[in-house]
Amino acid sequence: MHDVPDHAESPQASSGADDAVRPSTSRRPVEAVLFDFHGTLAQVEEPREWVRAAAAACGVELDRVRATALADRLLTAGRAGGPLPARVPPRLAELWADRDLYPHAHRGAYTGLAETVDAGIEGFADALYERVLIPDGWVPYPDTEAVLTTLRAAGVKVAVVSNIGFDLRPLFAAWKLDGLIDAFALSYEVGRCKPDPGIFWRACGMLGVDPERALMVGDTPADAGAVQAGCAVLVLPCADAGSPNGLGAVLDLALRPDA
């Protein structure tokens, strides 16, 4: 057993000094949440179903084996809403660079990539692209509606901030989620792409909220670029269609009172 030095302070005496150096656990309130779209609120349909649906639109029925083989090749080539292409042909380089700034570039880049895969189906590349434009080509994550509804009930404003070359509003309307979104900051409309802070500032301006009172939620380093705009950031793992991606964590950050 060790002796206590004569100059040691009692717990009561030392509590004031400890409080003086203890980091504050309070945090700024969240008045708005900015959500990325793909990989955060929704995911593209399963690749094989994407291929089969597109082929059916062209009047061709694919069996599972052929659909799976085509899906693998198309994912390697590059899918809208999917993984980045293994290689962008030089003839598509300019369209690829501008894909999230102009609708024609978005369509041209992805149909061009699909055409590098010879499927032997007339009109197939366009049919594949059309799937990304319609609600059936996407699957909202399981917690999306509940999280958006809870934020709306709490008076927290919501914007969708997406690098995209087409209008997302019809998708949200079809899913009956449009009434839960206050603003859309879409790169092709704003003229800025994440991680450029300008797109986050635009979203905050649309909502009438100071960036320091906004939380950006996404799944990529581009979404984390919101830090440069002054926003707080939550990065969630991207999950497959229909699988939970932890979106409920947003409510812990946005609604929990300061400790």
pLDDT at residue 18, as a whole number: 46
Q: What is the pTM of this model?
A: 0.87
- Phi-psi region at 236: left, alpha or beta (left = phi > 0; alpha = psi -120 to 50): beta
List the one residue out of 30, 44, 52 whose CA is nearest residue 168: 44
Question: What pLDDT, on a 0 to 100 scale, did the predictor assign at position 1?
Answer: 44
Distance of CA 5 to the CA centre of its chain: 58
Taking only the tens of pLDDT, the chain with its 259 residues reads 444 344 444 434 444 444 444 444 556 789 999 999 999 999 999 999 999 999 999 999 999 999 999 999 999 999 998 889 999 999 999 999 999 999 999 999 999 999 999 999 999 999 999 999 999 999 999 999 999 999 999 999 999 999 999 999 999 999 999 999 999 999 999 999 999 999 999 999 999 999 999 999 999 999 999 999 999 999 999 999 999 999 999 999 999 664 3
User: d(Cα 144, Cα 130) in Å, to the nearest integer?
Assistant: 24
Cα 97 to Cα 100: distance, rounded to the nearest angstrom: 8
